[in-house]
Amino acid sequence: MRIFSPIVLPAALRSLPGLRSLPVLRRPSAHHPPAARRPVSSLRGAVPAALLAGCTAALLLQPAASAASAGPSARIRTSAGGGSVTTLPLTAGHLLTPRTTPRFELLGVGWDGPASSLAGGTVRVRTRDAATRVWSGWHELETDGEDGPDGTAHGPDRLPRGATAPLWTGPSDGVAVEVLPGPGGLPAGLRVDLVDPGHGADSAAVRTLPAEPPGGGRRVGHQAPRPGIVTRAGWGADESIREAEFAYTGAVRVVFVHHTATATAYECADAPRVIRAIYQYHVQGNGWRDIGYNFLVDRCGTVYEGRAGGTDLPVHGAHTLGFNTDSAGVAAIGTYVTDVPPQPLLDGLAGISAWKLGLTDQDAAGRTQLVSGSNASRYPLGTRVGFDAVSGHRDGFNTECPGAALYPLLPDLRTRAAALQGR
């Protein structure tokens, strides 16, 4: 998932129907907008420097007739606690055509068929802040499908359909979308999914698994102590929207470290809201059986259970395209391209990696091999590839994830995880 910095446009373009900064950023005054500025350090990402010129093919949302409704063509799927995913089909329109929508905090664009259907194309969006009514500039979404199921008919997830990485916008109530085709043209079924995470489902289930003390008597071999883990009940997952059955893989031999590419300077109390939004987008937007990651860690070091099926079991995830078998995906909540990961976050990543790998006596500082499950990964289908036991997402897929500031810290993270295993 990516979050982009704002573009503040010159006066000639500000006369067009509203452009704003993302709600997680400081916004310009409605009366005295500043000149273009550098993004704040907590929210990194590449953004186009100006509006594209000479567009010859575009799909945009038609203007809404009512400010209170997304229109008759909208499809709305709800979840417990006031959550929703509103899906709006894209139709032929004009450049810079906005529309009013139900409230949302995360969005993504999807289409029928595989991710490759839009190869070489471009997807851009802009959104309106729900509080200030100010619009953003255009933000380009990633279309390469770097997370997700491996795409086999016999895998635990349904065959994946194409979708961009999600964009965290904060509270918003308007959107415009532009899709420029690649060499293969435009895929069918283009749509935008708008996610409101709500306040989460209420549950009587256990909300936190307590941390095990160092040197606890029940561990054997090089099994590390379990860190405290906030369960799915703890972050408010609506269990009715996911697949009822669980899917498992072989023994976990690699932990792939990711970042969610959302805001970095968030309050840790808001982390469950971000996780719910990702969960709803993966399931109700992309059609996956559950959230893709096995675990997530916030900037305060709190570990959260991701995909359902048992934290101590080898749950088959959808996090590293091509290498979801015999692995687990752990996502650092935030964007760590230039922002330095805080120490509590690194401690949380080391702790969950050490524990998960130690359950099968896998040395966190060691190496092993996995077999590629997809030609869309960095390696052709069937290729046997060597990985560190704690690897970055970019080791298996052509992506910057987990970010240029986090990836170089993985060697030290492996050493600390191995020490937790008593090696």
Separation between Cα atoms, residue 378 and residue 365, nearest integer Å: 23
Is the four-CA dihedral 354, 360, 365, 370 of positive or negative sign?
negative
Separation between Cα atoms, residue 302 and residue 186, nearest integer Å: 42
Separation between Cα atoms, residue 314 and residue 251, nearest integer Å: 6
pLDDT at residue 94, rounded to an integer:
33
Residues 6+ positions from 332 with CB-CB distance below 8 Å: 257, 258, 259, 260, 296, 297, 341, 345, 349, 402, 406
Q: Which residues of the chain have pLDDT under 70?
A: 1-72, 92-96, 144-160, 216-220
Residue the block writes with tokens 């990961």: 341
**Residue 371, class by beta-carbon neighbours within 10 Å (0-12 exposed, 13-18 middle, 19+ buried)?**
middle
pLDDT at residue 157, rounded to an integer:
52
pLDDT at residue 184, rounded to an integer:
87
**Residue 269, class by beta-carbon neighbours within 10 Å (0-12 exposed, 13-18 middle, 19+ buried)?**
exposed
Q: Facing residues of 248 across strands?
A: 315
Helix (H) or strand (E) holding 85: strand 83-89
pLDDT at residue 378, rounded to an integer:
85
* Encoded tokens for 92: 């032929």
Separation between Cα atoms, residue 177 and residue 166, nearest integer Å: 14
pTM, rounded to two decimals = 0.81
Nearest in space to 279 (alpha carbons), one of 24, 247, 271: 271
Nearest in space to 257 (alpha carbons), one of 44, 409, 143: 409
DSSP state of 282: I
pLDDT at residue 49, rounded to an integer:
30
Is the four-CA dihedral 397, 398, 403, 404 of positive or negative sign?
positive
Under 8 Å between Cβ of 90 and 71: no
Q: Are strands 384-388 and 367-371 parallel, antiparallel or unpaired?
A: antiparallel
Dihedral angle computed from the Cα positions of residues 81, 292, 190 and 161, in that order, rounded to the nearest 10 degrees: -130
pLDDT at residue 165, rounded to an integer:
84
Q: What is the DSSP string of 105-153?
A: EEEEEE-SS-GGGGTT-EEEEEEEETTT-PBB--EEEP-S--SS----T
